[in-house]
Structure 1
Amino acid sequence: MTFDVVGTLIDFEGGITGALAAIGREAGVAVDAEAALAHYRAARYMPEALRFPDDLSRVYGVIAPKLGLPTDARYGEQLLASVPGWKAFPDAPDALARLATRYRLIAMTNARRWAFEHFNRALGNPFYAAFTADDTGTEKPDPAFFEQVFAFVEKDGGTRGQILHVAQSQYHDIGISRKLGLTNCWIQRRHAQPGYGGTIEPESFTVPDFHFTSMAGLADAVESNRAA
């Protein structure tokens, strides 16, 4: 199984909005979480964007005036410094531990390696292997990212046909995994909320092979299928 990390396993939206809310409390400004995510999404995908999450300090400078927050550079650094404390979704560590008893788990993240190391610890270090933007030199949905993972899997004795790709982002993962012929599983983290939050909206929606609203749902289904 290959996994997106940020947004699927790690609650990056909660991490960002929590950090912005803390800045807002200090400045006496109430921050609307959904508005903040919409501004974040637009800023994050500007042409001058840097690697994630290093780009957060630049992003803050773009979105702070729109949210009525102070624009001092130190607050952008404060947002970036929040990354090591971002939480795993409550269901993710247990679900990954359960899945790891049956499958080799491979992380595929657009985050830089330093950030992934924090996320991996928060998740209980469940991965057999991990590919970050630092390792691949590119970001999903670039097919080249996936091809490097395929090469690793094939060198390890597997095939791409054996992979189940698990992710929440239609744009970064589900659409491109379908085009590359993978079986995929959409973890719809925002099932109780409208829109795409902090993740870029895809040009078109891809119906996944499997669909759950949590990692626990996926792990339960795997165990039920094995017991049948």
Structure 2
Amino acid sequence: MARDLRSFRYMTFDVVGTLIDFEGGLVASLRAIGDRAGRAVDGEEALSLYRKARYTPDADRFPDDLVRVYGAIAPALGLPEGREHGEALRQGVRGWAAFPDSAEALARLARRYRLVAMTNAQRWAFEGFAETLGQPFHAAFTVDDTGVEKPDPAFFERVFAFVEGEGHSRDDILHVAQSQYHDIGVSRQLGLTNCWIERRHDREGYGGTIEPGAFTRPDYHFTSMAALADAAEA
């Protein structure tokens, strides 16, 4: 059985896809470009193309890499080519919305836990996300801070060192995320208790996120952040 939620001191969070509506923001930005060009964009097709283009050896850090990704996927989507459109996609990240339940749930959880952000996004983008979420974080680690992206264990080790510096350990952490590939699998391997927020529970497939080699059954499983906050207060 999973541990009592009250036993944790920290909750660490994936941000893009768990708290910020990454798929909705990406598709909306691509559709805005398509509307101006008179071209309709199928959301699931766009996410599939994004996934294939994003995870390549020549990938840059996110969201700067959206400029390159746009150039790779625009022809297949029938969208206009040109670096200016990729730049518009990158800049549009600043306007990506949080899931409707994210900010309120984080505010509730912050009353009991120290909240730590762990994001593969660059610091400039995370600062906008944190503002959108109501600045709930005790600490934050971005790809600029760690030099690596999840699921690299080195990202998690940086967070463990921070927690140990505050006199605690990984046993005091509940790791919360939507990505099986980036978070749930590796957190299990590193001995963390984890919580899967299944944002795509009403859709098939993995959308814009790479499919894991194997599914990891989480310690906790919710389809929303609101449900996690409710459980923590129960």
Settle same-fold status: TM greater than 0.5: yes
Q: Aligned partners of 2:223 and 2:54: how far apart in 1?
A: 25
- Once the two structures are superposed, the pairs formed by residues 197-212 of structure 1 within 5 Å of their partners are 197-212=207-222
Give me the whole-angstrom Cα distance separating, in 2, the residues matched to 1:166 and 1:142. Answer: 16
Structure 1 residue 143 and structure 2 residue 153: aligned? Answer: yes
Q: Specify the SS of the correspondent of 2:16.
A: coil
Structure 2 Cα separation of the partners of residues 147 and 25 of structure 1: 44
What letter is aligned with 1:130?
Answer: A
Match of 1:170 in 2: 180
Give the deviation of 1:46 after TM superposition: 1.1
1:184 aligned partner: 194
Task: Output the CA distance in 1 between the equivalents of 2:82 and 2:114.
Answer: 45
2:127 is matched with which residue?
117
Q: Aligned residue for 1:32? A: 42
Cα offset, 1:18, TM superposition = 0.3
Return 5+ residue gaps in structure 1 as ranges.
none
Q: Give a deviation string over 1:151-209, Cα, whole Å, max 9, x none.
A: 00001111100100000000000000000000000000000011000000000000000
Any gaps of 5 or more consecutive residues in structure 2?
1-10
Q: SS state of the match for residue 54, structure 1?
A: coil
Which secondary structure state, in structure 1, belongs to the residue aligned with residue 114 of structure 2? coil
Map 1:1-228 → 2, pairs under 5 A: 1-224=11-234
CA distance in 2, matches of 1:52, 1:73: 16
Superposed CA RMSD: 0.4
Deviations 1:79-113 (A, max 9, x none): 01101100000000000000000000000000000
One-letter code of the match for 1:147? Answer: E
Identity level (%): 71
CA distance in 2, matches of 1:174, 1:190: 15
Query: Number of residues paired by the alignment?
Result: 224
Question: For residues 107 and 136 of structure 1, what CA distance do their matches in structure 2 show?
Answer: 12
4+ residue runs over 4 A deviation:
none
Q: CA separation in 2, counterparts of 1:13 and 1:178?
A: 25
Report the Cα distance in structure 1 between the residues aligned to 2:167 and 2:97, rounded to whole angstroms: 34
User: What TM-score do you get using the length of structure 2 for normalisation?
Assistant: 0.95
**Letter of the aligned partner of 1:159 in structure 2?**
S
